Amino acid sequence: MASEKQAIDATLSSLSAEDPRFRKVADRYWNARGGSYTDGGAFIFTTTTDGERWSVSCADKFGRVIEAPPGEYAIDRSSIPGAPRPPVDPVPAESGPAGAFERIVGAMPGWRLSNVRWIVDTLVESTSGGAAPDDAVDLLALLVDRMYDTGGMKRSAVREILEDGIDRILGALPGLDKTSPCPWRRIDRDSRGSLRPPRDGERVLVVDASRFDPEGDDCDARLEVDAHGMGWKRFVIHRLRGQRFTGCGFGPGTSDVTIDVFGSSGDYLASGIDGMRITVHGNGQDQLAQIMKDGELVVHGDVGQAFLYGGKGGEVYIRGNGAGRPLINAVGRPRVVINGTCLDYLAEAFMAGDPHAGGGFVVLNGLAFDDRGRVVEQPTPYPGSNLFSLASGGAIFVRDPHRELVDEQLNGGEFAELTDADWDLVRPYLEKNQRLFGIRIDEHLLTVDGVLRPPREVYRKVRAVRLAVLAKVQVPE
């Protein structure tokens, strides 16, 4: 229970260190507000006893019982000699990480957590001896990012094992002061004085952020800017504990920079970026991508308050939900796909011009994943008010096949039928969204109640209208 994602993660990590029955990853995270009429926002915990045993139950403010998904959750951290090897080769071969991912998730519903541990241990071992960890890290990242059926295992426990494997691989990489053929190099707070330009063959700088300050001159974000000035272009940051400003301060023209983020990232990530690509392998926090000018941000989870505030351009893909007031005062050419929903004030004062003439837009899909990793519709594609409030340009394309949104949710916008030109505009972004998250256009977006429908029957366009009070011309007497 906490009001910030990194506080939740820190609490669970502390509890897990004291009592191994606790997991480091929560079964469910909520991106909610207390005043919502659709989500919980506030929770009630009730303890009862029969005189011998105590039990605890949880309900939201409407009285609906909140339950965690069932499944195996206890992780045996001791060695497991003779642990059953699953009938899958985890080391990517000709098919690469994507092929290995498909083989693993296809077999996983019949596994135990010991099988997952065997897969992870094998991948960790494959990176020893100076071998480049690209394939192993890419495969584990896919397993962390994507939603799929984990069978009789809790997804939170599976994710914890996978994330631990990533940290083990990255934590064992040679430092900048070591001699090694490995093209990935590692730096942490204690070794930050060893920062230097990349040498022949070195192409990835891994930053262990766990002990860096959250902000200021001694934060990891400052070190990454210095490293970029020395010639580093690709960064992998892990063990974040809420540190802020990841990707900030690199300056203009950074299309050759990529950053992968693992752990509990903090506020202002990707704010002001101008060309780089940042991938967050989990949930984001508040104020992401503020005044973003260009580049790409991909978040494999939810984002917090006021993301893309004053955004000017670039592409943003969010697998989950956004909290309140996203894209306020955005201008220029931001192109955004949100697969979940937002709480309220989406694209307030949006000033992104005509999307068919280089302007910006938002696609809001209103989808979620169930406990088996299946794509499902949310109760409503948008639960709040002031959708496109006082906007003067751009558009929002909402997946609303049941026509649940009403005029009263708008303030300065109007509904319009989706045209062929609109679909031609957004489809390439939905195709990239499909590659990133596995949310398929035909199977998940355009299929409603088991029937594949044309886009105009599924999506609605919200466009700006001229406000009479602003458009009125005052004629002098």
Are residue 188 and residue 138 in the same domain, yes or no? no
C-beta separation of 304 from 288 below 8 A: yes
Structure tokens at 283: 């949930």
pLDDT over 60 at 358, yes or no: yes
Are residue 117 and residue 180 in the same domain, yes or no? no
Dist CA 182 CA 132 (whole Å): 6
Q: What is the mean pLDDT of residues 394-408?
A: 96
What pLDDT is recorded for position 1? 46
Within a domain: 55: no
Q: What is the CB neighbour count within 10 angstroms for residue 369?
A: 20
Dist CA 292 CA 309 (whole Å): 8
C-alpha R_g of the chain: 23
Dist CA 343 CA 367 (whole Å): 14
Are residue 266 and residue 370 in the same domain, yes or no? yes
Q: What is the mean pLDDT of residues 55-73?
A: 90
Are residue 219 and residue 346 in the same domain, yes or no? yes
Q: Report the 3 state secondary structure along 372-395.
A: CCCEEECCCCCCCCCECCCCCCCE
Token pair 């009285």 is found at: 63
C-beta separation of 332 from 291 below 8 A: no
Are residue 159 and residue 211 in the same domain, yes or no? no
Q: What is the mean pLDDT of residues 289-307?
A: 96
Mean pLDDT computed over every residue of the chain: 92
pLDDT band for position 85 (cuts 50, 70, 90): confident
- What are the Cα distances from residue 288, in Å, to 1, 146, 199? 22, 21, 33
pLDDT band for position 394 (cuts 50, 70, 90): very high
What pLDDT is recorded for position 83? 58
Dist CA 377 CA 447 (whole Å): 11
- What are the Cα distances from residue 17, in Å, to 7, 22, 157, 166, 208? 15, 8, 15, 19, 20
Within a domain: 36: no
Within a domain: 47: no
Within a domain: 39: no
Dist CA 197 CA 219 (whole Å): 19
Number of structural domains found in the chain: 2
What pLDDT is recorded for position 43? 85
pLDDT band for position 128 (cuts 50, 70, 90): confident
Closest by alpha carbon to 344, among 37, 10, 114? Answer: 37
Dist CA 284 CA 435 (whole Å): 20
pLDDT over 80 at 403, yes or no: yes
Within a domain: 38: no
Within a domain: 163: yes
Residues facing residue 207 across a β-bridge: 187, 237
Helix (H), strand (E) at residue 440: none
Domain boundary among 129, 144, 170: 170
pLDDT over 60 at 159, yes or no: yes
pLDDT band for position 3 (cuts 50, 70, 90): low
Within a domain: 34: no
Are residue 94 and residue 11 in the same domain, yes or no? yes
Q: What is the mean pLDDT of residues 8-30?
A: 91
What pLDDT is recorded for position 88? 74
Dist CA 68 CA 48 (whole Å): 19
Domain boundary among 144, 170, 196: 170
Q: What is the mean pLDDT of residues 439-460?
A: 98
Q: What is the CB neighbour count within 10 angstroms for residue 160?
A: 20
Q: What is the mean pLDDT of residues 213-227?
A: 96
Q: What is the mean pLDDT of residues 271-284?
A: 97
The DSSP line for 86-109 is: PSS--S--TTHHHHHHHHHHHHGG
Q: What is the mean pLDDT of residues 24-39?
A: 76
The DSSP line for 265-289 is: --TTTTTT-EEEEEEESS---SSTT
User: How is residue 416 annotated by DSSP?
Assistant: E
Least confident of 64-73, 160-169, 244-253, 425-434: 64-73
Contacts 24+ apart (CB under 8 A), 376-380: 378/340, 378/341, 379/38, 380/38, 380/341, 380/404, 380/405
Q: What is the pLDDT of residues 170-209, one digit of tens each?
A: 999 999 999 999 999 999 999 999 999 999 999 999 999 9
Q: What are phi and psi of 198, to 5 degrees?
A: -65, 145
Domain boundary among 128, 151, 170: 170
Are residue 72 and residue 183 in the same domain, yes or no? no
What pLDDT is recorded for position 217? 93
Residue 216 belongs to domain with CATH number: 2.160.20
Are residue 137 and residue 268 in the same domain, yes or no? no
pLDDT over 50 at 461, yes or no: yes
C-beta separation of 246 from 269 below 8 A: yes
Dist CA 321 CA 165 (whole Å): 27
Are residue 203 and residue 163 in the same domain, yes or no? no
**What's the domain range around 12?**
5-28+68-170
Which residues have a Cβ under 8 Å from the Cβ of 442 and sit 6 or more positions away?
Answer: 452
Within a domain: 242: yes
Are residue 301 and residue 396 in the same domain, yes or no? yes
Longest Cα pair distance anywhere in the chain, in angstroms?
A: 94
pLDDT band for position 95 (cuts 50, 70, 90): confident
What pLDDT is recorded for position 33? 66
Share of the chain above pLDDT 90, in %: 82
Which residues have a Cβ under 8 Å from the Cβ of 133 and sit 6 or more positions away?
Answer: 127, 169, 170, 173, 182, 184
Are residue 231 and residue 118 in the same domain, yes or no? no
What pLDDT is recorded for position 469? 47
Closest by alpha carbon to 214, among 254, 263, 170? Answer: 263
Dist CA 260 CA 280 (whole Å): 6
Dist CA 423 CA 108 (whole Å): 36
What pLDDT is recorded for position 258? 98
pTM, entire model: 0.94
Q: What is the mean pLDDT of residues 435-450?
A: 98
- Higher pLDDT: 468 or 356? It is 356
pLDDT band for position 435 (cuts 50, 70, 90): very high
Dist CA 351 CA 184 (whole Å): 42
Are residue 90 and residue 213 in the same domain, yes or no? no
